[in-house]
Amino acid sequence: MAAIEDQGLLTSVGGLPPAHVIQAAWEVACQLDAHGAPVQATRHTYTRYSTGGIFPPQDLQRGERLLVDAGLLRQEGGMLYPTPALQTLAAVEQEIGYEILLGHCILRSPPDWMLEEPVVAPDDAREVLQDLVTDAERREAFLIAFGRRFDSSPFEALGELGEECVVAAARQGLVELGRDDLAKGVRRVSLLSDQLGYDVVAPCPSGNTRRLEVKVAGRRVDGLARFFLSRNEAEVGLRDSGWALVYCEQVGEGDVQIVGWCRGRTLEPYLPADAQGGRWRVAAITLPLTTLVVGIPPTL
C-alpha cells in the first residue's frame, strides 16, 4: 500500500491509477454534497457509508485524493468542493463513471505508451482497463479515442466549436422560457468522455433530458449531410428516446451554425449491415439535409 502512495495514484499501475481506487473514487463522487462539505465531516461519513466491505474508509479516502489529483475535486480551507464536471459524473451509470474517471486521470497525466502510435497498453495497465471497462469493444474504442485526442487536429477544434454552439443554443432556449436554473444544467459531457455516445446534455422543463450528439462539417452546396457515426453513438441513439444528432456546418473561419437535428431511428436506414465474421465500428453517413428538423430538439 505504501509503495502505491509514494508513486502517486494517477500513474501507479502501468501509468494508470489502480482500478480499485478508481472505483472507490466513484463511490466518493456519489456521496459528495454539490455545495461542498468540510473535509473532516466528509471523511467521518466514510466510516458509516455501507459498501458491503468492498471499500473500507482508507480506500474511500484514497478515492477522494484521486479526485483531487485529477482536478475534479477542490480542497480549500478545510472544505471539499466538487467541480461541475464531477457533479455531472455522479449522475451517469457506474461503469461509464469508471471510464470517465479513468479518462480524466489520463488527461491529467498521460502514460507514455498512450502517446505512441499504435496505442498498446502494457500488461498491468491492460488489467486496469479490463477491470474498469469490461466490454472489449468499448475498451478498444476508449484507447483509440484517447490516442486520437493526443493527436491535435483542426477537425477536433471544429467539433469543439459545434458543441459550444449547440450548448449556447440549448441554454438560450431555456432562458427564453424563463428557466435560467435549467440553462445552468446544459453541459458538454464530451469533456468528460468520448464514449458516452453523445456530447451535450440539456434538461427540459418536463424533467426529461436531451442527449445531443454533435456533428460538424464544412459548408456544402449539394444538399447532403456527411459525417462519421460510431457504432456506440448509433446504438445509444437507437435505444435512447432522449438522444438526437445535431448537424452543424462551418460558415467561416472559426464559426459554425446549426443546420438541424434528427433522432436515432431516422439514421437507422443509413447504417451499414454487419459483415459475416465482423461488425462495423464507424459508418460514413450521407443523408439529405431535408431529413433534418431545423434547429435543435425543442425544450418542451
Q: Per-residue confidence of the chain (300 residues) as pLDDT tens digits? A: 333 343 477 888 888 999 999 999 998 988 888 788 899 998 888 888 766 678 888 999 999 999 998 888 888 889 999 887 787 777 677 888 888 888 888 877 888 887 776 778 899 999 999 999 888 877 877 777 666 555 545 556 778 889 999 999 999 999 999 999 999 999 998 887 778 899 999 999 999 999 999 999 877 667 889 888 999 999 999 999 999 999 999 887 778 999 999 999 999 989 888 876 678 888 888 889 999 999 999 987
The predicted structure's pLDDT at residue 153: 55
Q: Strand 187-188's sheet: what is its strand order?
A: 187-188, 200-203, 209-218, 243-252, 255-262, 293-294
CB 162, CB 247: distance < 8 Å: no
Residue 220 CB partners (closer than 8 Å, separation 6+): 226, 249
Distance CA 161, CA 254 (A): 8
CB 147 within 8 A of CB 141: no
- Residue 228: count other Cβ atoms within 10 Å of its Cβ: 11
Question: What pLDDT is recorded for position 147?
Answer: 65
